[in-house]
A = this chain, B = another copy of it.
Amino acid sequence: MKAWLTRLPDPVPDTLRTPEEIARFELSRSLPDTPVSLSVNPDLGDSFRWIKMSTGFSLSGGSAGILYGAYRLILTFLSGDDVPDAYESVPRYSLRMINCWDNPDGSVERGYSGRSLFFRNGKLSYDPARLRELARLMASVGLNVVCINNVNVHFPAQLLLEDDLPDLSRLADLFRPFGIRLMVSVDYSQPMRHGIPTADPLDPRVSSWWTETVSKVYQAVPDLAGFLVKADSEGRPGPFTYGRNHAEGANMLADALRPHGGVLVWRCFVYNCRQDWRDTKTDRPKAAWEHYAYLDGQFSENVILQIKHGPFDFQVREPLSPLLLGMPHTKLALELQLAQEYTGHQIDLYTMMPMWQEIFDELPEENIMAMAAVSNWGDDAFLTGHPLAAANFFGYGLLSWDPHTDPRRSASLWSRLTYPSFSAAQQKQLVSCLLSSRRIYEKYTAPLGIGWMITPHDHYGPNPSGYEYDLWGTYHKADRNAVGIDRTASGTGYILQYPEDLQRKYENPDTCPDLYLLFYHRLPYSFVMKDGRTLIQRIYDDHFEGEEEARAMADVLRSLPFPEEDRTVILSRLERQLYNAREWRDIINTFFHRLSGVPDARGRTIYD
C-alpha cells in the first residue's frame, strides 16, 4: 500500500497490542540510531511532547498520544525538517474521523479507488495486514475514529449490530492498538426489522430496543466511538415519518449510547430531494438551517451534528454552511469529502488543502468540536486511485489535528515523505502543482460558485443543464440575458441565515468576492466585474486559462522523476484530465456563448 509511509522498514506486527508498544516498535525501526525514551501519562490524552536529550529524545504522551508523538518525530526526521529540541502538541479536536461509504457488497459509494477494504459478499471481510497498514497511516497523521460503513445503510449492514457483532469486535481489536476506535452507521428504522411496528423515537418499544441493542454492541466493542446517522435524507428513514423533530430523533439514540460513553453523530444533510424545478420559493441551500437552527440547545450532550462545509453538497466552490455559525449551544462536527465526487473522481488532480484553509478563514475553530471526512480509499494499489490524491488523506489528518495547518507545509511534508528522492527544486514543483490544482479544476468547471454543471448521477465531466430540470434543487436558470440565483434578502433570503458581517461581505454584487458571485447573485452577462471585465468575458477567460494551466501543470508533472509504477498511473490520469479539461472548457464556453451571443473579446475559438 502506497501513500507516505513507504519508507517505514517493516509492517507493524499483529502481536503489538497498545499504542505504546507500536510507538516503541516504530521508533526502533525507523530511527535506529536515535534512542527515544517513552513515558505514558494518561492525563495527556491524545497530546504529546518531546525534549531532546544528550543522546536521543524523551517522548511523553497520553495512551494514544504517545503513538502520535512517535509518528510525528519519525515523520519530522524522514521529511528532512529540523527536529525541534522541545516540542509539544495538543490536537484541537478530540474526534478526528474518517467516514467510509463502504457497502456490504464490497462496493464503495462515490468510491474512485476500487472496492471496499472492509467488506465483501455482505460480510466484514478483509486483509488484516492491509488494514493494519491503513491504521498505521491514520495514526501517523493523528486520526482516531473510522466509521466503517456507508451512511446509506444497505442491507445487510444492519447485521453489524446483530449477527455480525463478533466480526465487528475482531475488527475493533485490529484498530485498537493504533489508538483508533470504530464507529458504525446505523439504519434509523432498524427496530422494525424485529417486529416493532414503528421507529418513532418517542415510542418506548423503540427506545428500549435500542437500549438493549446498544448494550450488546458495547459488550462486544467496549470502546466503540458511537453511531453515525443519516436520517430523513435522500430516501433514508427518520423521525419526520413520525412527526418528530431531529432533536427528538437524535436524543433517543444518544440516550442509549450515553451510559457506554458513545456519541451519536447526526448528519444535517437534509433537504427536499423531490423538488419541482418550477418551484422558485424553495432554495435548497436554506434547508439545513431550517431543519436544525431552531433546535439549538435541545440536543443531548453526546449528540454531535455533522455539517457539510457548504450548504449544497461538496461542490468545488461553496460558501460556508450558515449552520456552522448558527448553533452555539450544540456540538458540531465539520464534514469534508476526500472522495473526489464532484472534484474529478481522483482522475483530475485536486488537492484540497487550499479549500480547507478558506473554510477556516470564516469558521471560528471553536465552533466545532470534531472533524469528519469521507474517505478516498479503496483496495487500489495506490490506496487512493491517483497516487497524488493520498495528499488529501494526509493533509486531512494534519488539519483535523490543527485546523490552521498551513496548506503549503502540509503538501510539502507529504511530498517529501512520499517522494524522498526528489531534489528540492522538484519538491517545489510538485508542491506547486498540488496547491494550484484546485483552482485549475475550478477554472475549467462551473464558473464563479454556480456549481452543478456536472454530469448528473455520475458527477464527472460537464453537462451545463444536466440538473436544470431535475428534482434535486440545484438550478442556475441561465437564460439569454442572465445567470444565477439571487440568494440575497431580495431574492430567496438565504443570505439572511448568516451573521451580519458575512451578509455584508456577500450581499452586494459589486463587492461580493468574484469566486462566490454566481452563488449569491443573478447577474446579466454584461455585469462589470471589479477588474473591469464583463461577467461573460470572465467566464470565457477562466475556462481558457483553466485548460491552459492544466496543460502546463501536466508538463511539469511529466518532467518529475516519479517511480515507474507511480508515473504510469499519474501520466494516464493526466491524459484523462486534459481531455476532461478541454471538454469542460469548450462545453461551458459554448453553452454561454449560445445563450449570450457575446463573442470572446480575444477572439479565441468558441465552438458553435
Question: Could you list which residues of chain A lie within 8 angstroms of chain B, going by C-beta atoms?
Answer: 277-278, 280, 462-466, 469, 477-481, 583, 586-587, 590, 593-597, 607-608
A480 to B597, Cβ gap below 8 A? yes
Say yes or no: B278 contacts A607, CB within 8 Å.
yes
In the complex, the answer to whether A278 meets B586 with C-beta atoms within 8 Å is yes
Asked, given contacts A280-B608, A595-B595, whether A469 binds B478 with beta carbons under 8 Å apart, the answer is no
Measured between beta carbons, the chain B residues less than 8 angstroms from A597 are 479-481
- B477 and A480 within 8 A (CB): no
Query: Which B residues touch A480, using CB under 8 A?
Result: 480, 594-597
The 6 closest A-B pairs by CB, nearest first: A479-B594, A480-B480, A278-B607, A469-B587, A465-B465, A480-B597
Q: For the complex, what is the distance from the CA of A477 to the CA of B590, rounded to whole Å?
A: 10
Closest to A607 in B: B278
With both beta carbons as reference points, the residue of chain B lying nearest to A278 in the complex is identified as B607
Please, how many angstroms separate the alpha-carbon atoms of A587 and B607 in the complex? Answer: 25
Shortest C-beta distance, A82 to chain B (Å), equals: 52
**Which residues of the other chain, B, contact A595 by a CB distance below 8 angstroms?**
479-480, 594-595
Kindly provide the distance from the CB of A599 to the nearest chain B CB, expressed in whole angstroms. 12
A464–B463 contact, CB under 8 A?
no
A319 to B493, CA, bound (A): 50
From A464, which residue of chain B is reached at the shortest CB distance? B465
Query: What number of copies of this chain does the assembly contain?
Result: 2
Take A278-B586, A462-B469, A463-B469 as given contacts and tell me if A478 and B594 are in contact as well, using a CB distance cutoff of 8 Å: yes
Q: What are 21 A-B pairs with beta-carbon distances under 8 A? A: A277-B587, A277-B607, A278-B607, A462-B469, A463-B465, A463-B466, A464-B465, A465-B465, A466-B466, A469-B587, A477-B594, A478-B594, A479-B594, A479-B595, A479-B597, A479-B608, A480-B480, A480-B596, A480-B597, A481-B597, A594-B595
Give the CA-CA distance A608 to B466 in the complex, in Å: 16
Looking at A464, A480, A597, the one whose CB has the most chain B CB atoms below 10 A away is: A480
Residues of B near A608 (CB, < 8 A) are 280, 477, 479
A594 CB contacts on chain B under 8 angstroms: 477-480, 595
How many Å from the CB of A118 to the closest CB on chain B? 29
Given contacts A463-B465, A479-B595, 13 further A-B contacts (CB under 8 A): A280-B608, A463-B466, A463-B469, A464-B465, A469-B587, A469-B590, A479-B597, A480-B480, A480-B594, A480-B596, A480-B597, A481-B597, A595-B595
Which chain B residue shows the least CB distance to A605? B278
Report Cα–Cα, A466/B455, bound state, in Å. 10
List chain B residues, Cβ under 8 A from A477.
594, 608
Residues of B near A465 (CB, < 8 A) are: 463-465
CA distance A462 to B466 in the complex (A): 11
| Given contact pairs A477-B608, A480-B480, A469 touches B596 in the complex (Cβ within 8 A) | no
- In the assembled complex, how far is the CB of residue A421 from the closest CB belonging to chain B, in whole angstroms? 40
Residues of B within 8 A of A586 (CB): 278
The minimal Cβ–Cβ distance linking A46 to chain B, given in whole angstroms, is: 49
In the complex, how many angstroms separate the beta carbon of A458 from the nearest chain B beta carbon?
11
A593 proximity list for chain B (CB < 8 A): 479
Residue numbers in B under 8 Å from A583 (CB-CB)? 469
Q: How far is the CB of A174 from chain B (nearest CB, A)?
A: 39
CA distance A478 to B280 in the complex (A): 25
Nearest Cβ on chain B to A454's Cβ, whole angstroms: 13
| Bound CA span A607–B468, Å | 12
Q: In the bound complex, how far is the Cα of B330 from the Cα of A534, in angstroms?
A: 60
Q: Min CB distance, A439 to chain B, in Å? A: 24
Chain B residues within 8 Å of A464, by CB: 465
Cα-based distance from A469 to B608 in the complex (angstroms): 11
Report the nearest B residue to A594, measured CB to CB.
Answer: B479
B contact residues around A280 at 8 Å (CB): 608
- Using CB atoms, name the residue of chain B closest to A478: B594
The CA-CA distance from A481 to B277 in the complex, in Å, is 25
A465 to B470, CA, bound (A): 13
Residues of B within 8 Å of A463, CB to CB, are 465-466, 469
- Residue in B closest to A469 when the chains form the complex, CB atoms: B587
A586 to B596, CA, bound (A): 22
Chain B nearest CB from A196 CB (Å) reads 32
Whose C-beta in chain B lies nearest to the C-beta of A482?
B594
Q: How far is the CB of A25 from chain B (nearest CB, A)?
A: 51
Provide the bound-state CA to CA distance between A595 and B479, in Å: 6
Q: In the complex, which residues of chain B have a beta carbon less than 8 angstroms from the beta carbon of A469?
A: 462-463, 583, 587, 590
Min CB gap A588→B, angstroms: 10
Q: Which residues of B sit under 8 angstroms from A481, Cβ to Cβ? A: 597
Q: What is the bound-complex CA distance between A481 and B595, given in angstroms?
A: 9
A278 to chain B: which residues have CB within 8 Å? 586, 607
